[in-house]
Structure 1
């Protein structure tokens, strides 16, 4: 039986109306997370005490009598390896420590932790000695304070995870582009024994998420509207698929105005009792390719990509791909040590460069040498926000300030460039 580790304000465990998959017998082991920052520590004794991260994201409260002697308590941020895990995980020390009274953990979640999910759909899990993550059901959600609170009988690696969620959590689309949205759940297996209130009984092993049935979700909406089969010029269209809890969204044919952009696609879980749970994915509609060089703006430039790692070349032109660069607007960028998504600055002139041209034949570069032999650098950058090898897609932006130096008059001209691109790799 699919039992939600859905952390509702009520203590009971709510379930979707229909289950689709038999519960697994065991969880999915994962490797241990590596440290992701400095640990904090504090000595706490039998009288009890509190330890918290400097940013207030996580707090542990030890009641009087939880510890029998002075103990150094530590919190180490680590990689989150939990199935469905969100944000960082944390390693509490001493590892394996047991307590005479449960320690209260309060985890303050961020808005970004809720991308594609909801507060009620978050749970807290720990990793056992067998490397399997176990989700706890004794959790309270305070939506106003944005906290999850749980009682810990022992120390281990702990994480926030998503019991239900929608993918993608967010995306950027070009006009007319489509994307499929899917709703998943964490199958798990409830091991609660009503005759034994021991918190260790209120656990379920975490496994890889599985897609929900179409009947387990309802009320697909786009910007709050039920579009049905209608195509809206500002919101686009949404088609609910027959297989699974899935829908295909199609972006409008032009970039919508700000009130409609980003587009919010939402769906609700079908639950037996309890509050309604709604997931939202925000989709930003932007021109796939757009080029601005000085005062000239080209709405649909031609984009040519060359990828031969570690080299990336991007050429954006006003005219067709085979047209000569002279007397047309263009923007060219090269990265000599391309490693994927990230920002590549022309401050590193040995490997990165940007050149632009205008329709009068003037070229602008990220550096020039004046009449005295002095080199002058400008600041520009290439930012790659998507590098999808499987789909052979690269998305990014070329932006900054370039200069032209006239060898005869010694005049220096400055121009601003901005090129947004999303194109297929050869």
Structure 2
């Protein structure tokens, strides 16, 4: 093989491995950390940091007759055959923080006093990790250059959810993890996994890119920054789910292939109008990988982070708001009386008409037809205060005030959808109960609402 690196793709979630040892003694609450002497990174690959101790280590002494050593959590084991050690050797397993590309859970460091010959590493995976893996491989970190390397040849026991592999000789220190040779992540945007009602998000199936190591076709260097959208073969995506409902529904939101993008690797989810009873919402996709079907999942939380912070005369209040768009171009926010949750105490209507272009700025109540504001207060049985009112002779008067829009963010994927932030202030007029007179109330409110025009 020539010196040129041949790119290959390896799609994987890193599931961290622990090395199991039998006939071992436990170093209770003892952290074992013998830092390797690390040279400057050399060669080709993406170096990572070296993991730090992350729990109590376990130490055992194994002789020329070999033995099996189990880790403290009993999830993994290292089987050392007879003759693999030239003399009795102390071996330590130290859990460490996971610095491997796409690492999940802990990684584990094996520290020995002597070189270990051919040995078998066996690890047991959790149900979720095992269900989404295809073609697991063992990965280890070369501590001299800090590059993680994936090794092929793993044996899989699907009944017991174990993966085992025979390693060649390795030196006095080595960090291990397990990867899947065909595996994917479900990636959503935005990445904070919190969205508001009716907000659309894109979902993509992503993979991990690796580089083939020179002259070692069974080994591959793991690339740290190799995550990228993965284009599957036609028919690779079988179905999308929201809370286990194929395609979703009105209560949990709708999910499907992304019509505007490549359906081979991406989907689209739109949050429901109201908070679902099961929240966060689990988004999932069934993907065909060869003869195996795996399910990838990620969750999003629907939050009502729309808000009003208001002051309206003596009846001021502040609370988290509910968003309930009641037409194609009106977003209404209201919140409850803290003393009486059945009473809608105050609220705000921001009316953004179809002609509104999304320009930030201030809009007066009295004449602007594109943006209108209204503030109402149901405390003390006051009637709705609007941006206009009528005197005893029936003459119409506009309230004094303005809507100031500080942010108008349009969706890139859903035409007509936007999140509007700003303030509304001015004077509202409330009908005094039992009279035809109106009572002026100055008000201010900060708002954030959804427009779905």
Q: Aligned to 2:206, which of 176, 179, 184?
A: 184
1:359 and 2:359 are equivalent in the alignment: no
**Structure 2 match to 1:297:** none
**Contact 1:185/1:210, CA 8 A, preserved across alignment:** yes
Distance 1:322-1:137 versus aligned 2 partners, 3 A rule: farther
Q: CA deviation at 1:326?
A: 5.8
1:132 and 2:147 are equivalent in the alignment: yes
Q: Which moves more between the two structures, 274-283 or 29-38? A: 274-283
Distance 1:179-1:142 versus aligned 2 partners, 3 A rule: farther
Separation in 2, partners of 1:192, 1:109: 31
Q: Tell me the SS of whatever aligns to 2:104.
A: coil
**Contact 1:162/1:186, CA 8 A, preserved across alignment:** no
Larger Rg: 2
**1:10-409 residue pairs with structure 2 within 5 A?**
26-94=44-112, 98-100=115-117, 102-111=118-127, 113=129, 118-120=132-134, 122-128=136-142, 129-153=144-168, 154=170, 155-161=173-179, 163=181, 164-168=183-187, 171-190=193-212, 202-207=218-223, 208-216=225-233, 217-223=236-242, 227=247, 232-240=250-258, 242-243=261-262, 245-258=265-278, 262-269=281-288, 271=289, 273-284=290-301, 286-289=302-305, 302=307, 320-323=309-312, 328=317, 358-359=338-339
Separation in 2, partners of 1:156, 1:251: 46
Gaps of 5+ in 1: 8-24, 194-199, 290-299, 304-319, 332-356, 361-422
Separation in 2, partners of 1:325, 1:85: 55
Distance 1:321-1:38 versus aligned 2 partners, 3 A rule: same
Distance 1:263-1:99 versus aligned 2 partners, 3 A rule: closer
TM-score by length of 1: 0.55
Separation in 1, partners of 2:83, 2:11: 30
Q: Tell me the SS of whatever aligns to 2:210.
A: coil
Distance 1:30-1:261 versus aligned 2 partners, 3 A rule: closer
Q: Tell me the SS of whatever aligns to 2:116.
A: strand
**Contact 1:82/1:161, CA 8 A, preserved across alignment:** no
Separation in 2, partners of 1:85, 1:330: 40
Could you report, residue by residue, the CA deviation over 1:209-247 in whole angstroms, capped at 9, with x for unpaired residues? 2324434442241246664xx974444233425257222
Separation in 1, partners of 2:125, 2:226: 21
Q: CA deviation at 1:204?
A: 0.4
RMSD: 3.7
Separation in 1, partners of 2:314, 2:154: 63
Could you report, residue by residue, the CA deviation over 1:69-123 in whole angstroms, capped at 9, with x for unpaired residues? 100011111111111222111111128x5333x2221222235657xx8122653
Q: CA deviation at 1:3?
A: 5.0
Separation in 1, partners of 2:126, 2:177: 14
Could you report, residue by residue, the CA deviation over 1:45-89 in whole angstroms, capped at 9, with x for unpaired residues? 111112212221221111111111100011111111111222111
Distance 1:321-1:141 versus aligned 2 partners, 3 A rule: farther
**Contact 1:105/1:152, CA 8 A, preserved across alignment:** yes
Q: CA deviation at 1:203?
A: 0.9
Q: Tell me the SS of whatever aligns to 1:176.
A: coil
Count of residues in correspondence between the two structures: 277
Could you report, residue by residue, the CA deviation over 1:353-377 in whole angstroms, capped at 9, with x for unpaired residues? xxxx9539xxxxxxxxxxxxxxxxx
**Contact 1:134/1:204, CA 8 A, preserved across alignment:** yes
**Structure 1 match to 2:353:** none
Separation in 2, partners of 1:111, 1:324: 58
**Contact 2:210/2:226, CA 8 A, preserved across alignment:** no
**Contact 2:194/2:303, CA 8 A, preserved across alignment:** no
Separation in 2, partners of 1:165, 1:324: 56
